[in-house]
Amino acid sequence: MLRTGEARSGADGRLIVLDFDGVLLDTERIGVAVWRELLREAAPGLRRVLTVRADRTLDRAALARRLAVAAGRRQARALWDEFERRNRALADRTDAKAGVRSFLAYCRERGHTLAVASGNAPDWVEGHLGRLGLRPHFTAVTCAGPGVRAKPAPDAYLRAVAAARTGTRRALAVEDSYAGLAAARAAGLPAVWVTDAPRSATPPAPAARRVRHLGELVGRL
């Protein structure tokens, strides 16, 4: 699903397409923390079903399978419902990640076009962008949904590039997950990897640069 905004770039700017969860808002860390708390409360033995990838993102599909087997479908459904409640409550109280606001201000000064390509639902992404006052920075926000496959499919990036009407020649993706890096590569975009994963963690798709937060890109693009 694609929604356009009011941001525009200068003639010499480039297109920078950012993931949302884990890049603009620290929801990946929140989600893992909520699941650890829930599983500890439910039963000590359930903690082993938590599946976190090497890039420190939550593997929801693997968790759903393992939780259904270990706890049964009824308890698993109840735990997922409680996760969604706690996860949203915590996310709603969380500010943008370190470096986000300075990076967006820098991009505006440099005349870069900004867009979001997310694998999450439009109401989640648009809601948080609005709450944080960040929505005016982005020309387009593309989310997974009808006609837009989730990452690692390149759909969200291709839609964002098409909406910006800049082409991929001077486009750059900013991602935090292995799936997102793969999606950017499939769309033909070089990518910056925003991560605090150990240096030993090697993404399956190469990253043009690795940073801990967006503030490290100020003055470099």
Q: Span 2-26+96-217: which CATH code?
A: 3.40.50.1000
Residue type, 181: L
Q: What is the pTM of this model?
A: 0.91
54: DSSP letter: T
The answer to whether the CB of 102 falls within 8 A of the CB of 216 is no
Query: For position 201, what pLDDT does the model report?
Result: 87
Pick the closest to residue 17 from 181, 210, 178, 218 (CA basis): 181
Q: Can you tell me the mean pLDDT for 26-52?
A: 95
Q: Can you tell me the mean pLDDT for 53-82?
A: 96
Classify 140 as helix, strand or coil.
strand
Please state, in angstroms and rounded to a whole number, the distance separating the CA atoms of residues 68 and 82: 15
Share of the chain above pLDDT 70, in %: 95
Query: For position 9, what pLDDT does the model report?
Result: 46
Query: What are the angstrom distances between the C-alpha of 107 and each of 59, 72, 104, 111, 220?
Result: 32, 49, 5, 6, 10
Q: Is the pLDDT of residue 10 over 60?
A: no
